[in-house]
Structure 1
Amino acid sequence: MISNNKRLINNNWWFKQKEDKEYNEVNLPHTNVELPYNYFDEKSYQIITNYKRDIYVENKEKRVFIQFDGVMTSFNFYVNDKFAGEYKGGYTPKFIEITKLINYGEKNSIYLEVDSSEREDIPPFGHVIDYLTYGGVYRDVYLYEVSQCFIENAFYDYKVSDIKNGHVELTPKVLINNKGEAGEYLLNFTLKHKDNSEEKINFTQVVEVEKASKWYYLEEIPLENIKLWDIENPNLYEVKLELFLGKEAKENCKLDESTETLGFRHLKIEGKGLYINGNKVKIRGLNRHQAFPYSGYAMPARAQRKDAEILKFELGLNTVRSSHYPASPYFLNRCDEIGLLVLEEIPGWQHVSSDEAWRNQVLDDVESMILRDFNHPSIITWGVRINESGDDDELYTKTNDLARRLDASRPTSGIRCYENSHLLEDIYTMNDFIHDGGEQVLRTRKQVTGLDKEVPYLVTEFCGHIFPTKRFDNEERLVEHALRHGRVQSESAKSQEHLGAIGWCAFDYNTHFDFGSGDRICYHGVMDMFRIPKFASYIYSSQKEPSQGVVLGPLTYWTRGERNKGEVFPIYICTNCDSVEVVLEGKTVWIFRRDENTLDNKLSGLKYPPIKIEASSGEWGYSWNEVEFKGFLDNKQVAVKKYSKNPVLKDLSVTIDDKCLKGEEVDTTRVVVKAVDQCENLLPFISGFISVETEGDINVVGPKQVALIGGCIGFWIKTKGKLSNKTAKINIKSSFGIEKTLEVELVK
């Protein structure tokens, strides 16, 4: 539902596991079991739990709905001890009308029985899957009080007829839910740019509304001088849609209103490439799981938005795949705002069931995904095939037909992992893991598709399980991990037959015992679960334009004993600088420019290939030197990275993503603690731990005492949903005797 007549009811819930006698007070989003970081039994959260809360509704003229944005995996819902509805799926909203069960002006009890087990009648289950589906009410819950006739949904379909002059034909399609009188109703549109421009566009239309829930196609609205949305200029507009009884927009006749954010862009995908507003875009992306340590899926808006920012601004990506399920609305909203393209797909992993209920659920997932996310300009394709599943023409003909019927403006895609699959979608998408360090980096389009004709072709996974790499692995493995990502992205960039490549994956994630490293973690990310970078992240971040941030990332710890034979060179410098100066013991020894002498041919397709430093590090047993790598742009020094010849612990580097949080709802932010030497470099093999205590209305997510992993660790703090003080403190003590304190501001 998109009506503005709603309120968030995330606070003041009561929760218990089925066998418990007592309830505990909780706020949402909530995970049913707070898990360890690793080495846990995934069965521990696959349980039955109960949630309850009281609600109050005063106005007897209102219809009342509850919206659950995400409950894993299924539930039965009761109001005042009477059955109100059920849900299966976990990733898309469920709207339930409870009008007839409400006692107006009195306390009403709402109750959920949540089943978080892996039920074989619900995708992605039925076989093994390489990710966890943590239990609980892990997204928002809303209470709607609406008129007898209200706006249930709206698709703002459009065509860009003139890219240069911003001419757009907007054709809204509005779902009106009416249990009031049939007759004439007025819809009023107001459109304005989200930069707070005073210029507005208004449009009204009278519609004959039946007594039912029905879609209404409205007249074409011509728009001129529209600022189009793209990845560099993500222009957004706000549209307010008002519903009035009768033919006039009288305030006392207003029944409902909704406010949506829109972006207008011309999208074309063909065999030759992806074009946005006529400009060719080569996809460079990573897959993302929405999993976090300890809390699983149950992380609030700020954490979801931050992930999008990490992908776009830290890693310099232009695309993310929401593997393997619809993403958080907050994540998608932020993708819209910052210009990050999205491939969104239905839940699933390899297995396709013959069970009719399971297959019907797949169709429900396609429909609910598109109904929820149609208006996001960042979404460029719908993934309507179970990830890496075999051909099932009967099922996938239906999913494609359904997606095209609901949304003719976007192409469909379907991810597979084998050659010569039947192409029922508009884009042939393939998980190509051919590169194992050898000569072949990517398959050709014809090799994969088996087709002689030119079709759009996108690589949706690579690397991953072929070369899992822990952030605390030895340097040689970390370097090779980075180079493999670089080689594939380079080959993709050079290819005229690939739309691009989306690597597996952005962040490490918890998984079942069937996969991962035996500790319930897949170390496939270019960052770890705390979003702390591995070397491979520098391959991506260094592709940013220098104007978006200078990057100088040497793929080395600068220590003679870390690589085989005591060697240090070659060193790859991931940078968007023009040249790198190497300074040993204060003296300039070499200057390396990005040219044919410093390029690895397999990385040459990157816009800013790493500069490869080939030199002598001296023989084993000779004295060691400190080094500085200085980055230059247009003969001007813009960055420096210095390494000590004798690193020792100097300090704890403590950073926090946000110092101001909302106190009256569950809000969160991340803290990263690093043990650093006298050059402020991470000490990757130091052992030790930190203890975290909080003051005020905040808590630590997970344990309060944690060991450093690879010299550092991250944790999240979250607010308690109340605001008794305007400040809170995070006190960090370490086994090294170093203490740090952070102060956080809490606001309404």
Structure 2
Amino acid sequence: MERTEHYDWNDGWLFTPQFDPSLLEPDCSGLELEPVRLPHTVKSLPFNYCNENDYQMISGYRRVFTAPRSWEGRTLLLTIGAAAHDATVYCNGQRAGHHACGYTAFTVNLTGMVRLGEENVLAIRCDSRETLDIPPFGGQTEELTYGGLYRGVALEVKENAWLRDVFIQAGAEGDFRIYSAAEGETVGCTLEAEIRAPSGRRAVYTGELSLPITGSLNGVQPWSCEHPTLYTLTLRLIRPGTLGLPDRVLDQKVIRFGFRTIQFVAGGLYLNGARVELRGLARFQSYPYQGYAMPDSIQRLDAQALRKELGCNVVRCCCPPSPAFLDACDELGLLAYVEMPGRRHIGGPAWKAQALQNCREMVCQCRNHPSVFLWGVRVAGSADDDAFYKKTNEAARRLDPTRPTAGSRRLKKSHLFEDVYAYDDFSFGGAGPGCQPRAAVTPDLRKGYLISAFGGMMYPTKSFDPGAQRLSQALRCAAVLNDAAAQQGVAGCVGWTMADYNTHPSYGSGDHVSYHGVMDLFRNEKLAAAVFASQKDPRVPSDIVFQVSPAAGFGDMPAGYPGGCWAFTNADAVRMYRGRDFIAEFRPDRQGRFAALAHPPIQIDDFVGVLLEKYEGIGHSEAVQLAGCLNALRRDPAAPSPLLRARLTRLLRTLRMNEATLSRLYHTYIGALGGPAVRYQFDAIWKDRVVRTIVQEPVQRVRLECTVRNAILTDGPTWDCAAIALRAIDQNGCLLPYCSEAVQLTVEGPAQLLGPAVVPLRGGMAGAYLATTGHPGRATLHCRMEGALPTEASVIIRRREA
């Protein structure tokens, strides 16, 4: 039997913000050390107006452990999931290893340094200064980079021969090749590979260490976005028995993978021979207060939000993400474009050598995930560097010949060593084409082309911006998505970004926040999120997405002009009512501005309907004409066109009306600043029935809504965390975007609050995080806000022992 022992070492750490050599000694009682659990951030930061200098330090972590004598003659491997950004590991005062990348895992061999039967001291020096000469540093990074041991740490006790790496290449037809690398005393050892299907069917193959194991499995179910079927590979390192003794399993690795084939050509991305139109968002792995340091459950929530809530089929990972995030992408069918660390800056020879090593580690650590379909082997946004980028492309292709390479850039016609020209197209200014012609950008039309970023800095939008600004962000996203889909040879496009993120003062809005997301920092949706979400094809009523921009709110518009009104939905139609009166039914314009989208935004452009006939006694023909004029005035009351003026003059003469009567009709049926309040109802119609309803009317009551995104937590092998959304809503459940009241938070039970106990609503929204404390039970978050009844949310915490 295999004798590998696995220990999750996320508890029992001591932390100091100032590394001291005495951390390495058996007795460091003179130091002030804080007990912490991993993942850990060196400094918790405020939501905004934070200071990036606060997390730039040389900090220290220490853990004391007793090594049993049963470990004698065995190999001790310590794996650190991520340490931002330069880490040196010491065991009993000896330097055990060093790693200079804050985004990939690394393993240190502690064999020979550990004293068996005694206490041992493990210490880690962690340097998170932005002056380091390693990626992503050297220039001014856009996003904050934080610091600390922000992913888990584990110790594995193995035999004297072990598997260091396993890589399986598996095509959609069922053919596969398994590559492996072993270390230690491997002479005479063999391999056994077992592949298990979701149905439980198993197939076993054997092979030699020096050769890949090849084979073909019949009747496989390929992995795709719609059907993300996962198989399990168990590869065992075996020492054959002698003198009648049975074989011994020295080590084994268990890997989930998918059978699928990727082709990225001039016509776009083909997955298992079928073209996939890519639509997604870029994602940073940071969160309010905690920076990078969030447990697996929170990482998985981001993947779920992208795939299930926003309807994306691709995510751009701006650095190698958490394995838990990619695991969720595998399960959900969310394609991942994974990039090497860095932003714009390319350093000297030592910097490039480290960047190349980062590229290798990224590929080796992520290549068994079927969701990963594209490697980013350029420093995002950087200039051409032919010698350097030839090396990164060669490294990725050598380590993984199954996936194409790309590199996000803002240059047209730059040198292309990759398989895909990934271009950050920020050209759209609100009018004209949503994206540039592919032929004007890429130097090689025979290769694939992807718009790897759009939007973002071109129109940053806060959740508390005026309604017109929030609507404009949504329509801009729709325009780019539409025009990318309409242009032949464009594989798709990725919006910038999924969520707002903390940034350096030279970026963002002056408060250390880039408001580029379609969600806020807490992952609350802005209106633009509905553009992405509404592109999902509904199968059941709960799949219907429905958001309507404000129809009234004249005082929110310049000079009290009403402004446009749009519905973002994947329903078949929208019915609108004014009070109890039916106005009109609106359907997507399949020939209009957004015709290339599966579910175009629907313009609500009739606020009169038949009301002139019903209440004013105007004949049908004239009522239709006059209603058209009133609706046209609503869209642009400040400067009616000469044609509209001429039509109105004729109508007023025919109807024997004067300007005062026209003004009364406008104020009555269109509305104006200071006019009577109107109740609008919008019904989403799907398969000839109402499935969603939105009512917009004056606020009569304010409620505080508290929603837990993951209500069941597991404490162990590390702390877990619940993400909680807070929203101020009216009596109809509509968001109140200008509510900025403070919410007081208190916790009852075995959990603690991350961040402040009083949070202001921004755009009517906020969030909170509840972290477990090592004990099971029920924890409740109590929320109080002035002007609303108290509310609460509970989570169940289970304890899993190591």
Aligned-residue offset at 1:19: 7.2
Three-state SS of the structure 2 residue aligned to 1:415 is coil
Aligned-residue offset at 1:15: 0.5
Partners of 1:743 and 1:169 in 2: CA distance: 48
Three-state SS of the structure 1 residue aligned to 2:539 is helix
Of 726, 733, 736, 2:777 maps to: 726
Q: Which residue of 2 aligns with 1:14?
A: 14
Matched, 1:538 2:530: yes
Q: Which residue of 2 aligns with 1:164?
A: none
| Contact 1:123-1:348 at 8 Å conserved across structures | yes
Partners of 2:200 and 2:55 in 1: CA distance: 51
| Contact 1:569-1:613 at 8 Å conserved across structures | no
Select between 413-422 and 613-622 the one with higher mean Cα deviation.
Answer: 613-622
Of 703, 712, 723, 1:651 maps to: 703
What amino acid maps onto 1:205 in structure 2? G
Aligned-residue offset at 1:649: 3.4
| Contact 2:462-2:763 at 8 Å conserved across structures | no
Partners of 2:439 and 2:756 in 1: CA distance: 51
Three-state SS of the structure 2 residue aligned to 1:369 is helix
Partners of 1:622 and 1:696 in 2: CA distance: 51
What amino acid maps onto 1:669 in structure 2? A
Q: Which residue of 2 aligns with 1:471?
A: 463
* Structure 2 counterparts to residues 48-447 of structure 1, below 5 A: 48-58=58-68, 59-160=71-172, 167-178=173-184, 180=185, 182-193=186-197, 195=198, 197-207=199-209, 216-246=210-240, 253-323=248-318, 325-353=319-347, 355-447=348-440
Q: Which residue of 2 aligns with 1:211?
A: none
Relative to structure 1, the CA distance from residue 3 to residue 580 in structure 2 (aligned partners, 3 Å threshold; closer, same or farther) is farther
With normalisation by structure 1, the TM-score equals: 0.94
With normalisation by structure 2, the TM-score equals: 0.87
Aligned-residue offset at 1:104: 1.3
Partners of 2:103 and 2:699 in 1: CA distance: 47
Matched, 1:742 2:793: yes
| Contact 2:56-2:128 at 8 Å conserved across structures | yes
Q: Deviations over 1:92-129 (max 9, x none)?
A: 01110011100112221100111100134201111111
Aligned-residue offset at 1:237: 0.5
Q: Deviations over 1:239-285 (max 9, x none)?
A: 11111111699876111111110111111110011111111101101
What amino acid maps onto 2:235 in structure 1? L
Aligned-residue offset at 1:460: 0.4
| Contact 2:3-2:159 at 8 Å conserved across structures | no
* Structure 2 counterparts to residues 500-515 of structure 1, below 5 A: 500-515=492-507
| Contact 1:66-1:143 at 8 Å conserved across structures | yes
| Contact 1:663-1:697 at 8 Å conserved across structures | no
What amino acid maps onto 2:287 in structure 1? F
Q: Deviations over 1:693-724 (max 9, x none)?
A: 1122211111111111121211111112x12x
Q: Which residue of 1 aligns with 2:47?
A: 37
| Contact 2:239-2:247 at 8 Å conserved across structures | no
Partners of 2:10 and 2:354 in 1: CA distance: 27
RMSD: 1.8
Partners of 2:424 and 2:231 in 1: CA distance: 35
Q: Which residue of 1 aligns with 2:662?
A: none
Partners of 2:404 and 2:237 in 1: CA distance: 32
- Give structure 1 regions of 4+ aligned residues with deviation exceeding 6 angstroms: 247-252
Aligned-residue offset at 1:455: 2.0
Q: Which residue of 1 aligns with 2:657?
A: none
| Contact 2:261-2:271 at 8 Å conserved across structures | yes
Aligned-residue offset at 1:510: 0.4
Partners of 2:274 and 2:11 in 1: CA distance: 46
| Contact 1:3-1:150 at 8 Å conserved across structures | no
| Contact 2:555-2:673 at 8 Å conserved across structures | no
Select between 367-376 and 613-622 the one with higher mean Cα deviation.
Answer: 613-622
Partners of 2:3 and 2:766 in 1: CA distance: 42
Select between 610-619 and 90-99 the one with higher mean Cα deviation.
Answer: 610-619
Matched, 1:592 2:598: no
Partners of 2:106 and 2:468 in 1: CA distance: 48
Q: Deviations over 1:123-168 (max 9, x none)?
A: 11111111111111101111110110011110102334xxxxxx32
- Percentage of identical aligned residues: 33
Q: Deviations over 1:530-565 (max 9, x none)?
A: 001111101000001111610111122642222234
| Contact 2:222-2:229 at 8 Å conserved across structures | yes
Relative to structure 1, the CA distance from residue 565 to residue 250 in structure 2 (aligned partners, 3 Å threshold; closer, same or farther) is farther
| Contact 1:30-1:298 at 8 Å conserved across structures | yes
How many residues get paired? 720
Partners of 2:767 and 2:261 in 1: CA distance: 41
Three-state SS of the structure 2 residue aligned to 1:280 is strand
Partners of 2:220 and 2:200 in 1: CA distance: 14
Q: Which residue of 1 aligns with 2:634?
A: none
Three-state SS of the structure 2 residue aligned to 1:731 is strand
Aligned-residue offset at 1:685: 1.2
Listed as ranges, the gaps of 5+ residues in structure 2 are: 21-30, 607-630, 632-669
More strand, by proportion: 1
Partners of 2:325 and 2:245 in 1: CA distance: 37
Three-state SS of the structure 2 residue aligned to 1:183 is coil
What amino acid maps onto 1:734 in structure 2? M
What amino acid maps onto 1:566 in structure 2? G
Matched, 1:603 2:594: yes
| Contact 1:300-1:666 at 8 Å conserved across structures | yes
Aligned-residue offset at 1:620: 3.8
Partners of 1:291 and 1:392 in 2: CA distance: 29
Partners of 2:262 and 2:51 in 1: CA distance: 45
Select between 286-295 and 663-672 the one with higher mean Cα deviation.
Answer: 663-672
Three-state SS of the structure 2 residue aligned to 1:111 is strand
| Contact 2:737-2:764 at 8 Å conserved across structures | yes
| Contact 2:534-2:546 at 8 Å conserved across structures | yes
Three-state SS of the structure 2 residue aligned to 1:535 is coil
What amino acid maps onto 1:333 in structure 2? D
Select between 727-736 and 492-501 the one with higher mean Cα deviation.
Answer: 727-736
Partners of 2:402 and 2:66 in 1: CA distance: 42
Three-state SS of the structure 2 residue aligned to 1:561 is helix
Partners of 2:454 and 2:16 in 1: CA distance: 41
Q: Deviations over 1:488-529 (max 9, x none)?
A: 000111111201101111100001111111100000000010
| Contact 1:471-1:534 at 8 Å conserved across structures | yes
Select between 13-22 and 405-414 the one with higher mean Cα deviation.
Answer: 13-22
Relative to structure 1, the CA distance from residue 290 to residue 316 in structure 2 (aligned partners, 3 Å threshold; closer, same or farther) is same
Aligned-residue offset at 1:567: 3.4
Q: Deviations over 1:184-223 (max 9, x none)?
A: 2121111112x4x23111112244xxxxxxxx33231121
| Contact 1:184-1:206 at 8 Å conserved across structures | no
Matched, 1:614 2:605: yes
Q: Which residue of 2 aligns with 1:686?
A: 739
Aligned-residue offset at 1:230: 0.2
More helix, by proportion: 2
Partners of 1:509 and 1:317 in 2: CA distance: 19
What amino acid maps onto 1:479 in structure 2? L
Relative to structure 1, the CA distance from residue 579 to residue 27 in structure 2 (aligned partners, 3 Å threshold; closer, same or farther) is same
Of 714, 718, 736, 2:767 maps to: 714
What amino acid maps onto 1:602 in structure 2? R
